[in-house]
């Protein structure tokens, strides 16, 4: 499977975490080959932290781990989709359930 994935110049690929029960998109993070291997071998989401330049086990400090139910990659092999069970119902570092809580109205100025 790894040979089908298209990593960027930094060796990273975007990963979307989606609630496996209701389909809500909870967050987007980056993965590298090591984080993919850890995710598949442990069944819990591991990502690559670009700001800390290290492997990141989601929820290791907060307790809000992500149990991976399904792992997909898209038709182009350049994006991963993790269908997860979010423990604690908080995925965002702000304390929100989802990182996507900033709506923009369609047909409105983007000023």
Which DSSP state fits 56? E
- Per-residue pLDDT reduced to its tens digit, 7-35: 999 999 999 999 999 999 999 999 999 99
86 near 26, Cβ under 8 Å?
yes
pLDDT at residue 110 in the model: 65
Give me the pLDDT at residue 12, please. 98
Distance CA 75, CA 54 (A): 28
pLDDT tens column, 40-70: 999 999 999 999 999 999 999 999 999 999 9
Q: Quick one: CATH architecture of 2-89?
A: Roll (3.10)
Domain ranges of the chain: 2-89
CB 35 within 8 A of CB 57: no
């Amino acid at each position: 499977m790894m040979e089908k994935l298209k990593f960027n110049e930094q060796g990273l690929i975007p990963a979307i975490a989606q609630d496996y029960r209701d389909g809500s998109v909870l967050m987007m993070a980056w993965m590298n080959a090591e984080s993919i291997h850890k995710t598949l071998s442990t069944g819990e989401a591991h990502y690559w932290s670009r700001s800390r330049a290290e492997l990141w086990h989601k929820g290791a400090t907060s307790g809000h781990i992500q149990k991976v139910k399904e792992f997909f990659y898209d038709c182009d092999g350049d994006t991963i989709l993790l269908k997860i069970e979010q423990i604690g119902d908080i995925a965002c570092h702000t304390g929100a359930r989802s990182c996507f809580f900033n709506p923009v109205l369609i047909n409105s100025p983007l000023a």
